[in-house]
A and B are shown apart, each in its own frame.
Chain A
Amino acid sequence: MLLFIEQLINGLQLGVMLFLMSAGLTLVFGIMQVINLAHGSFYMIGAYVAATVTIHSGSFLLGMFAGLVVAAIIGMIVEFTILRQLYNRDHLDQVLATFGLIFFFNELSRIIWGRQPLFMDIPTWLNGTVEILPDIHYPLYRLAIIVVGIMVALFLYLLFSRTRLGMQIRAGATNRDIISALGVNIKLLYTLVFGLGVMLAALAGVMAGPILAVEVGMGESILILTFVVIVIGGIGSVQGALVGALLVGLVDTLGRAYLPTILSSIFSSQIGNTLGAPIASMSIYILMAVILAFKPSGLFSVQNRVDS
């Protein structure tokens, strides 16, 4: 039972990471109608910059700040120079262009940082474990990730429902032409939204840095899960991203933790060990298929868009 609770927390933590990634991606798609495959690259850039600055300055917070700022600036430059040309084009063109960006950023990182994965450690004040339940020691850093995720979700909620900027963004998502006719600088708005999305991806990258290997191509492995999340949640919906991310995080973690054991108890342990891992890694796609069968446009579909 205690183990089950620990696995639930693990699932929650993975879900939070996925939420940070998918919130940015779904925001950009929902508001700007752009499919950005290079989202994972910003995750990587965030991690690389944060690791570099942390190594040289010794301060994790400074590294985090630098990672977010640098990634956001690069993101806005990309939006300004490349994506702007693509708003009125087909999704396929956007996919091709942003897919190209993945290669560009991977190679650029290899030129700058080389093939040696960077080392990034947990700051001492977040190191160690906490006894969350009797006899269950959980890494403090992973709890911190959950807290950051909840704060980001709150921040996004307040931004969209309580601020003028949020209102403009929502309006821009519904009808681009009307809002620019009302005197809102929609181009600037788009650049800002894109910068925000990139910053969330970079935040996920920075948070992942101390847990994972900071290396070229680290963004691609999480990108696929991110797409699963936004498809489940409903493309363009931030609430959907939150629910989808938590669902995927829980299903993936619990699947990995319990499927081999369950299969072993039904069949032989050999079959359980051989089939457990592949079926566990399939579980989120099965979840996606089931949800799409009943809700073809995701759990929280966004259907209020007026196409111009």
Chain B
Amino acid sequence: MKKITFLVALVMAGALSALGAEPVKIGMITTLSTKAGYLGEDIRDGFKLAIAQGEGKLGNIPVELLVEDDGRKPGKGKQIAQRFMKKDKVQILTGIVFSNVAMAVVPKVVRSNVFYVSPNAGPSALAGKGCHENYFNVAWQNDNLHEAVGQYVTEKKFNNVYLIAPNYPAGKDAITGFKRFYKGKIAGEVYTTLGQSDYAAELSTLKSKKPDAVYFFLPGGMGINFIKQYAQAGLNKAVPLFGPAFSFDERILKAVGDAAVGVINGSQWSSDLDTPTNNEFVSAFKKAYGRTPTLYASQGYDGAMLIGSALKAVDGDMKKTNAFRKALNKADFTSVRGNFSFGKNNHPVQDIYVREVIKDANGNYTNRIVKKVFTNHTDAYAQECKK
């Protein structure tokens, strides 16, 4: 009897301490305004879904999510990071969409012994020599999705590919990533102005070079314009188009319509990936927000699950930084994309697929997996990382 009373008291005390604990604060710096605002919106909504499923907890530890909009501006991202760290004493940051913002924020943050979990941007500079033990990328290294398409295009024996990307670092990275695995000839390589909306001149030149395939990386609205104009010039029937998943997320597809159907694109995730975790995620997301999740939403969700797994390991005690870091590195969670672990540079080792854009039975545009191109794929920069 005494023993039981003692046990009950112990359990109650435990419950009390859990109740009394301050929630762990997580700071999310993301892009909610500008044309690219939907990217941050989906990352945030995916992250929030994970918290909602845990009824306010991640890994059974109460958390508080603080969200701020960086407006796609590196300077603003920096300010928000400062405020989160100084005023709110946040020790876990996440959320940044764009590589240029990440480059301004991340190096400083991780040096101040704060953890950063990237749900999107994966610039090569942070994966190679600039890697850091407190920096974790739960999405991909920037080159990865392009590499997968390069490999697929080579496998399919295309031998004269035309390349097009905007003239800025991520555009160059994209083409570098593609070329790393593409072995054929290059029919032409064009860099356009960032933010360009009309591609008539480029399309005419492209046509005259008679390529057997086209690979393009034009994120956001640029991609919408390009895909529409590509189809309008009658090229989609003649020359197959390839790209990374960024121009074929469900939101862009809605704005592009039939013009994108049949396009092959590289992604680490797809809504039709048939794993129990993913099926549950996709239907929960649809139920909560009334739309099909994009890959960004899946990355936000995985980011939250990863943080949750590490919080659980240290029992919500963020003073145990070493234990928390180790737990993050173990990646002890079930990713919606299936296989997932961290490589030497804390970037994902994961499978990468090519998907095809289809129109489903309900008339919605979405992606269907065609093939797994890479199994346990890591990035080209991991070897340079000496942390």
Q: Which residues of A contact B167 (CB under 8 A)?
A: 274, 277-278
Given A215-B35, A276-B191, A277-B192, does the pair A117, B200 have CB atoms closer than 8 Å?
no
Query: Per a CB cutoff under 8 Å, which of A139, A256, A276 touches B233?
Result: A139
Judged by a CB distance under 8 angstroms, whether A159 is at the interface is no
Q: Cβ of A6 and Cβ of B197 under 8 Å apart? A: no
Chain A residues within an 8 Å CB radius of B200: 10, 13-14, 142, 253
> Which residues of A line the B interface, CB within 8 A?
3, 6-7, 10-11, 13-14, 115-119, 121-122, 127-129, 137, 139, 141-142, 210-218, 221-222, 253-254, 256-257, 260, 273-274, 276-278, 280-281
B17 contacts the other chain (Cβ, under 8 Å)? no
Can you name the residue of chain A whose Cβ is closest to the Cβ of B209?
A3
Is residue B53 contacting chain A, with contact meaning CB distance below 8 A? no
Q: List 26 A-B contacts (CB under 8 A).
A: A7-B205, A13-B200, A14-B198, A117-B221, A117-B252, A117-B255, A119-B255, A119-B256, A137-B233, A141-B232, A142-B200, A211-B198, A213-B224, A213-B228, A214-B255, A215-B221, A216-B35, A217-B34, A218-B197, A222-B197, A254-B201, A256-B201, A257-B205, A273-B189, A276-B191, A277-B193
B254 within 8 A of A: yes
Q: Which residue of A lies closest to B168 (CB)?
A: A277
Q: Which of B175-218 contact A (CB under 8 A)?
A: 189-193, 195, 197-198, 200-202, 204-205, 208
Q: Chain B contacts of A274 at CB under 8 A?
A: 167, 191
**Could you tell me the distance between the alpha carbons of A163 and B167 in the complex, rounded to whole angstroms?**
49
User: Which residue in B189, B229, B252, B257 is a CB contact (below 8 Å) of A121?
Assistant: B257
| Shortest distance between the CB of A185 and any CB in chain B (Å) | 40
Q: Does B41 contact A (CB under 8 A)?
A: yes
CA distance A11 to B198 in the complex (A): 11
Bound CA–CA A94/B232 (angstroms): 40
CA distance A114 to B113 in the complex (A): 38
B38 sits at the interface (CB 8 A): yes
Do A116 and B190 touch across chains, with their CB atoms under 8 A apart?
no
**A72–B34 CA distance with the chains assembled, in angstroms:** 26
B218 to chain A, nearest CB (A): 11
A260 with B190: in contact, given A129-B233, A212-B225, A221-B197 (CB under 8 Å)? yes
* B204 / chain A contacts, CB cutoff of 8 Å: 3, 6-7, 10, 257
Q: A119-B257, A121-B257, A122-B232 are known contacts. Are A273 and B205 too (CB-CB below 8 A)? A: no
B191 engages A273 (CB within 8 Å): yes
Question: Do B225 and A115 have beta carbons less than 8 Å apart?
Answer: no
Interface centre among B37, B192, B195, B232 (most CB of A within 10 A): B232
In the A-B complex, the 8 residue pairs with the smallest Cβ-Cβ separation, listed nearest first, are A213-B224, A117-B255, A10-B200, A213-B221, A257-B201, A277-B167, A115-B38, A256-B201
Shortest Cβ distance from A233 into chain B, in angstroms?
20
Once the chains bind, are B201 and A253 in contact (CB under 8 Å)?
yes
Q: Are A117 and B197 within 8 A (Cβ)?
A: no
Q: Which residues of the other chain, B, contact A211 by a CB distance below 8 angstroms?
A: 198, 225, 228-229, 232
Q: Does B57 belong to the interface (CB within 8 Å)?
A: no
User: Which residues of B are found within 8 Å of A117, using beta-carbon distances?
Assistant: 35, 221, 224, 251-252, 254-255
Nearest opposing residue in chain B for A115, CB measure:
B38
B175 to chain A, nearest CB (A): 10
**Interface-centre pick from B190, B195, B256 (highest chain A CB count, 10 A):** B190
Distance (whole angstroms) from the CB of A6 to the closest CB of chain B = 5
| Complex alpha-carbon distance, A243 and B189, angstroms | 33
Residue of B nearest to A127 (CB): B232
Bitwise interface map of B from 276 to 316 toward A, beta carbon under 8 Å scored 1, else 0: 00000000000000000000000000000000000000000
The answer to whether A128 touches B234, judged by C-beta atoms less than 8 angstroms apart, is yes
- Cα distance, A260 to B367, chains bound together (Å): 35
CB of A139 within 8 A of CB of B232, answer yes
Contacts of B252 in A (CB 8 A): 117
List, in ascending order, chain A residues with CB within 8 A of B229's CB: 211
CB of B198 within 8 A of CB of A116, answer: no
Q: Bound state CA distance, A254 and B234, in angstroms?
A: 22
**A217 CB contacts on chain B under 8 angstroms:** 34-35
Task: Say which residue of B193, B205, B228 sits within 8 Å of A3 (CB atoms).
Answer: B205
| Cβ-defined partner of B197 (8 Å) among A11, A139, A212, A280 | A212
Shortest C-beta distance, B131 to chain A (Å), equals: 27
Distance between Cα atoms of A127 and B229 in the complex (Å): 11
Residues of B within 8 A of A216 (CB): 35
Kindly state the separation between the CA atoms of A174 and B205 in the bound complex, as whole angstroms.
47
B258 — nearest CB in chain A belongs to which residue? A121
**Residue in A closest to B192 when the chains form the complex, CB atoms:** A277
Of chain B, the residue at the smallest CB distance from A253 is B201
Identity of the chain B residue whose Cβ is nearest the Cβ of A107 in the assembled complex? B33
User: Given A213-B225, A217-B34, A273-B191, are A115 and B201 also a contact pair (CB < 8 Å)?
Assistant: no
Chain B residue contacts of A137, Cβ below 8 A: 233-234
Beta-carbon nearest neighbor of B252 in chain A = A117
By a CB distance below 8 angstroms, the chain B residues around A254 are 201
CA gap between A214 and B201 in the complex, in Å: 21
Min Cβ gap B197→A in Å is 5
A212 contacts across to B, CB distance below 8 A = 197-198, 221, 224-225, 228
**In the complex, what residue of chain B is closest to A280 when comparing beta carbons?**
B193
Give CA–CA (A6, B202) in the complex, Å: 11
Chain A contacts of B35 at CB under 8 A?
117, 215-217
Chain A proximity of B44: nearest CB distance (Å): 12
Give chain B interface residues in 333-368, CB to chain A under 8 Å.
Answer: none
Measured between alpha carbons, how far is A13 from B199 in the docked complex, in Å? 12
Q: Which of B189, B192, B254 contacts A116 (CB 8 A)?
A: B254
Nearest CB of chain B from residue A21's CB, rounded to whole Å? 13
A281 close to B193 (CB less than 8 A)? yes
Cα of A214 to Cα of B191 in the assembled complex, Å: 24
